[in-house]
A and B are shown apart, each in its own frame.
Chain A
Amino acid sequence: MQSKSILIPLTFLLLTACGSKQNNDTSGDTLTGNINIDGSSTVYPITEAVAEEFQKIEPGVKVSVALSGTGGGFKKFGRAETDINDASRPIKHAEDSIAKAHNVRYVELIVAFDGMAVVVNPKNDWCNDMTVAELKMLWEPEAQGKIKKWNQIRPEWPNEEIHLFGAGVESGTYDYFTEVIVGKSHSSRGDFTASEDDNVLVQGVASDKYALGFFGLAYYEENQDKLKVIGIDDNNADNGAGPILPSMETVKNKSYAPLGRPLYIYVNSTAGKRKEVQEFVRFYLNNTNTLTAEVGFISLTDTESTEAKAKWESFITSLSSVQ
């Protein structure tokens, strides 16, 4: 019994010692602080990569990145609970109003381009492309409970159930996909496996012969051995006739339509006044091209990149003048 009573305070001592070791690194010129980031699971891999590399050169700054989805992230961002929001679609009017109501001003920065990939299982040998109209028929709200089999889309396809996987409702990917495919944002059938975590979707499609799913191109690029991407035909000969597969070129030259889109980060004004956040965003914009390629997205052109950096710098200056 006696040895037990020594053990508890000893463990406590050990833990607090280990825990507080982190805070002792305050040498004069290194940055310190906490940066709180949330939002899109599509943008997450880039932000995660940037955060990791940034923390290697500035170990005094703690960056935490969560993935509640673009919508979920904006809710927190609007309430000033996060410093930066990753977003795979622009901020909506309603979300902007919430931000205004909490006195949150922000800047929108483009960091990369994404093509949303529509994927099927590698064992799927019948489906190589789909038109936008077919996708709409498959995903619109009216399809709920009714469009269940492959041969309802094209009669030559198998008489088997389609198992659908897609982004969840908090996801910007979901909003964007529904807007350009169904025609109305946030409007789709509800009977599919929905997840804000794209990894779950990859796993789902990769293990199911009759699956079909959509998510950011990066997740396809990273799992090419497990997935098969299909071409999308938007019936618009102007930007390339026939079905187009997503790739660096087709997203950049806009022939992979309508599923190509910019990816953003939104930085709030209070955070923008802090030195560590300024350095972090500078680092982000300087390195996004190298890191996006690693992660699987499409990087900005030099013009776009310079524009973004200039936008950030002018935002910072505008903050310091409004004290």
Chain B
Amino acid sequence: MKLSDYEPIVGKGSIEELSLLASKLSGKVIQNINSTFTGGGVAEILSRMVPLLSELGVDARWSVIKGDLAFFEVTKKLHNALHGREEKISPRDISVFQETSRKNIKELELYGDIIFVHDPQPVALVERKKELGKNWIWRCHIDVSSPNETAWNFIKPWVTQYDAAVFSAPAFSTPLPIRQFLISPSIDPLSDKNRELSQDIIDSVLSKYDIPSDKPLIVQVSRFDYLKDPVGVIQAFKQVRRSIDCRLVLAGGTATDDPESGKVLAEVQDKAEGNRDIQILVLPPGSDIEINALQRAATVVVQKSLKEGFALTVSEALWKAKPVVASAVGGIPLQVKNKFTGLLSHGIEGTAYAIKQLLGNPEYAKWLGQNGREHVKHNFLITRHVKDYMVLFLTLGRPEEIIYL
């Protein structure tokens, strides 16, 4: 995609603004570091963000740390624990994390003027700050509003060595001795997952997965992960189904850094067994057009997460002007302004009630969906995200609240 492709969506003024900011970053190298090139929201954002920054003339690059299955099992545990789930982090887990971190600290080439580290997996790289100097930013994509104390205390000594931390929602911040910024992630309106699709393509995807268009369709798109509560969605659906004839599709893929998803999938399949109105779709990586089509075919999109980072699947659904029912967790309340851009829910019964409200009141559902699209257009598209990152880079080392460039 080229920047000019976004102009019809966001306007000329926004694109000019990006060029202006980029010109002030001339000569700086921005090195992004995370744990995987594929799978999950972080890799997805970086794969779009880095080329756009490059086109603007900002020297942005992307490196990944190395880790084996044992390391990713530990980081998955750490991820769950930081989200607040009860996890036992054993001394062996700690030593696996430290050992892999030590290898990466030694082997990964750190060449950026600004080292932009994403999520907890590579957090320990900051140990090289004393030796290298540079500006270091830790970008936390997950919900750390009520973390397991052991897990947070484990990573905190690294976090506090950064120059700044970036969170996706206000509730994730906590008193820290470093500056903290709020930057929402974003979706790319021109990607296969979000671009406009013809009805023929949508129909062909429905036909490929044997999903009839005879009833209202409720869709949740999420990795098979306990924190996305797919079992809770099935329970809510069963309550809705008592009074309204409809279908449920739970569609999700897997990520290379998530060894737990197979177990969750088996449990979900078990709960759905025997119910012909529930379909569980395991989508391989690269199924972006399929996800796009499923979201566009949905009558209501649900995101009943127990914990969330930001929940980009909500932005995706809102961008398609879909009425959304979502839990008030993580970054979801930033996107779903209750009764303005969607409906927020707090439990299985509340989710079922909200879905019924939308299925029973299509005009209201349409109004919410249209507001939701506007909200995403102005606040959660990749162009706004690129702008925020450039402003962040320009703000580093500047303590004043009004900066003249």
**Co-complex (A, B):** no
A residues sitting closer than 8 Å to B (CB atoms) are none
